[in-house]
Amino acid sequence: MFISHSQDKNRITTFYKIVVICTAIFLSSEGFVFGGTAENPELRRGNAQSEEAAKKELAKFAESYTNLEQWKARAKNIREGILRGTELSPPPKKCPLNPIIHSKRQFDGYKVENVAFESLPGVFVTGNLYRPQQGTPPFPAVLCTHGHGPQGRFSPDHQKRCASLARMGAVVFSYSMIGYAEWQNAGWEHKIPKALKLQLWNSIRAVDFLLTLEDVDPKRITVTGESGGGTQSFLLTAVDDRIAISIPVVMVSANFFGGCECESGMPVHKSSTHITNNAEIAALAAPRPLLLISDGKDWTKNTPNVEFPYIQNIYRLYGAEANAENLHLPNEGHDYGLSKRIGAYKFLAKHFGLSLENVSKLDGSIDESFVTVEKPEDMLVFDAEHPRPANPGVNDIDKLPWD
């Protein structure tokens, strides 16, 4: 059969297109693709690169600075990239918080109240405020975020963390991520476009709320959470210097960028002026105390050998290497379980003077048996007795009253 030059050229072009597509599929399955989506090539989502590529990227990042001033310049650029990427630069005008606090319950060594405040006009951040029963204020404060588990801030492990920290001598604010608890009751879904923008803004306003409390020491504020809550922890620390201690749990990885809209749905890792990964973002805590809690059964399995040494080198530039620690649990998985909570308790006792004795048995082991795990309906801010105030009725982040 006769084949014209034009037909031959078309067949060759088609062949090369097939080769390119197949190669791309293979590289993607092996984790070698750099990230991005067809809609936004600047997004770095999920397993955006292989573990080996992540190591090479960190090495390349390290070549861009050799002293503290050069690192500070890089850190400033990354921080600005995060704020631009979340559309929080310039920041919105802060509205009055108009806090709602009710339903105080007294428990063994701590007390709990249901709390809401407005992060934007008519937009309510909801949660629970835990306080010590004893001690002399002002107390350190802890913001407790949560991951993508279905129970959110109502899960037993989350409640045990908050109650134990309160009994140890901290004021603790546990708040729900978008689409959970009262958010869900108001018709919000979690995985919506630009969830990261509102969630990070809510966290910034949560710091504002803590600072309105007379029993809180403004110089001793911590944020800690697991998984998606870990992402929220290191992002908030990166952009808000009022955070004095950061404890991101089972999340800091140089090759994994978070797979949810609330973690990587906006271009915080890459733009025309910056490129970074979550290990570097966590390092923006320097020289403030930082505890990375990692495990052997998720994307933090390499933390002791990859991410933590990189972060240590940054702390070394500040002469603050001792402020960065890594608790690695090679036989554990993706959670904020007891052994991980114990690590956080000890770190906060060391840096903030919280009392381990208040949550310990005579033999020194941690004992959380005093905690009363409450029913979710008792922890809700808005219910039949406490109806939700009027709000804009908008679940589209772009249509919220940001101005």
CB atoms within 10 A of CB 114: 22
pLDDT, tens digit, 9 for 90 and up, residues 190-227: 999 999 999 999 999 999 999 999 999 999 999 999 99
Parent domain of 186: 100-379
Would residue 46 count as lying in a domain?
no
Would residue 26 count as lying in a domain?
no
Would residue 77 count as lying in a domain?
no
**Strand pairing report for 139-144 and 171-175:** parallel
DSSP symbols for 293-342? EEESSSTTTTTTTTHHHHHHHHHHHTT-GGGEEEEEETT--SS--HHHHH
Q: Provide the whole-model pTM.
A: 0.90
| 294 DSSP β-pair partners | 328
Would residue 283 count as lying in a domain?
yes
pLDDT, tens digit, 9 for 90 and up, residues 346-356: 999 999 999 99
Would residue 185 count as lying in a domain?
yes
For residue 11, pLDDT over 60 is answered with: no
Which band of pLDDT confidence, cut at 50, 70 and 90, is reported for residue 8?
A: very low
Contact 271, 42 (CB under 8 A): yes
Give the whole-angstrom CA distance, residue 326 versus residue 276: 21
Please list, in sequence order, all residues whose beta carbon lies within 8 angstroms of the beta carbon of residue 177, skipping any fewer than 6 positions away: 145, 146, 152, 183, 190, 199, 228, 229, 232, 262
Would residue 204 count as lying in a domain?
yes
For residue 388, pLDDT over 70 is answered with: yes
Which band of pLDDT confidence, cut at 50, 70 and 90, is reported for residue 22?
A: very low
Which band of pLDDT confidence, cut at 50, 70 and 90, is reported for residue 319?
A: very high
For residue 140, pLDDT over 70 is answered with: yes
Least confident interval from 14-23, 97-106, 210-219, 299-308: 14-23
Contact 250, 230 (CB under 8 A): yes
pLDDT, tens digit, 9 for 90 and up, residues 233-274: 999 999 999 999 999 999 999 999 999 999 999 999 999 999
Contact 192, 179 (CB under 8 A): yes
Give the whole-angstrom CA distance, residue 226 versus residue 108: 26
Q: What pLDDT, on a 0 to 100 scale, did the predictor assign at position 31?
A: 34
| 225 DSSP β-pair partners | 248
What type of residue is 253? S
**Strand pairing report for 100-106 and 110-120:** antiparallel
Which tokens hold the place of 65? Answer: 């600075």
Question: Count of domains in the chain?
Answer: 1
Question: Pick from 151, 174, 149, 152: which is nearest to 164 by CA?
Answer: 174
| 221 DSSP β-pair partners | 141
Please list, in sequence order, all residues whose beta carbon lies within 8 angstroms of the beta carbon of residue 153, skipping any fewer than 6 positions away: 127, 128, 144, 146, 159, 174, 175, 176, 180, 181, 379
Would residue 86 count as lying in a domain?
no
Would residue 79 count as lying in a domain?
no
Which domain CATH number covers 341?
Answer: 3.40.50.1820
Q: What pLDDT, on a 0 to 100 scale, did the predictor assign at position 30?
A: 31
Q: How far is CA 275 from CA 22, 34, 38, in A?
A: 27, 11, 18
